[in-house]
Amino acid sequence: MGERPVVTPSAGITPVQQMLASGTGALLTSVFVTPLDVVKIRLQAQQTPFYQGRTLTDNIHWKCFLYCNGLMDHIYVCQYGASCTSWYKTPTHFSGTLDAFVKITRNEGVRSLWSGLPPTLVMAVPATVIYFTCYDQLRDLLRYGMGFQGNYIPLVAGGLARLGAVSVISPLELVRTKMQSRKLTYSELRVCIRSSVAQDGWLSLWRGWGPTVLRDVPFSALYWFNYELVKAHLCDQYNVSQATFSISFTAGAISGAVAAIVTLPFDVVKTRRQIQLGEMETLGVPVKNPTSTWHIMRGIWAESGYRGLFAGFLPRVIKVAPACAVMISTYEFGKIFFQKMNLDREQRAC
């Protein structure tokens, strides 16, 4: 049975236009998802007090937590009395998610729902641009440049694209955590990095890379594999050659939910490992023999069984599915916009 001809998703646009489309999608996804995570952190803050830590000076209260803007997870270190305290720990008591939305908006203003977003975008937007642009380029190279065919192409391209993005961003995220937790200047940061490299080698800059790759690479491979399949199925069902916004949105939500469920154990491990590394950086504790991913996973299994590895199932799916839907539908819409713009320009030139 012959394949129905489809329009190549990235045909007729430049890599720069792909970057613009993915960057726009990244910003919109962050604007959509961040309020959900701010509310989550504020609810957690009621139960988890600031630690009495030894950071820059004695008697400094601090808390290390994971902040997600829908694109990346970031370690955020909040010191009592610092700027983040105003939105991380306030006297307001929340009885639930909806109550938190209402009280934050009413008492602190709507802008508080996007507190802490700008610093994380410095890493998240470039990472997303690299990831999505590389995926399209790799997929087209494998399919049209090298002549490979089959449903496995998106799986391979998605995994490789995420691997590249994580490898590029991982040292930068570690640098950001050092600067934010220890309040280092750029000159002090340079000395700190040189000391770390001299002591532990260049690989120390990729500390935490393993757990991130074990979650993000399988997630991306599964996500793109399912996305292309669901999108093609919906295009066939509605008899269109190119995915509409609603088709991309639906396919993104479904594939994101599936990938989130399958890779949830790795997400649990990665979250625990990231916070562990963040706390070590904050306390200035040298990481000589970091706990391996499999050791953490075995520990969780011994403590809580399989339920521990799938902890946070519903919150993760609720957050990941719409984030994936918004990101991919905006990205596809942006590519179609640039395709039409380039086509109109060519027709006017003729």
Q: What is the pLDDT along the chain (350 residues), one digit of tens a residue?
A: 444 444 454 567 888 999 999 999 999 998 888 887 777 767 766 555 544 444 444 444 556 666 665 666 666 666 554 545 455 555 567 777 788 888 888 888 888 888 767 767 777 888 899 999 999 999 999 988 888 888 899 999 999 999 999 888 877 766 666 655 555 565 666 676 777 677 767 776 777 677 778 888 999 999 999 999 999 999 999 999 889 999 999 999 999 999 999 888 887 777 777 666 655 655 555 555 556 667 777 777 777 777 777 766 777 788 889 999 999 999 999 999 999 999 888 888 87
Cα-based torsion angle of the residue sequence 263, 267, 268, 274 in order, rounded to the nearest 10 degrees: 160
**What six digits make up the tokens of 106?**
């009413």
Give, as one character, the DSSP assignment of residue 113: G
**What six digits make up the tokens of 92?**
């307001």
Cα atoms found within 13 Å of the Cα of residue 84, Cβ hemisphere only = 23
Sheet of 51-53, strand order: 51-53, 60-68, 73-79
| CA dist., res. 350 & res. 347, Å (int) | 5
Which pLDDT does position 53 carry in this prediction? 47
Q: What is the largest CA-CA distance in the chain?
A: 72
Rounded to 5 degrees, what angle do the CA atoms 321, 40, 34 make? 55
| Residues 245 and 329 sit within 8 Å (Cβ to Cβ) | yes
Which pLDDT does position 237 carry in this prediction? 93
Q: What are phi and psi of 335, to 5 degrees?
A: -65, -40
Which pLDDT does position 3 carry in this prediction? 45
Which pLDDT does position 338 carry in this prediction? 93
| E-strand stretches of the chain | 51-53, 60-68, 73-79
| Residues 128 and 23 sit within 8 Å (Cβ to Cβ) | yes
* R_g over Cα of the chain: 22
| CA dist., res. 348 & res. 340, Å (int) | 12
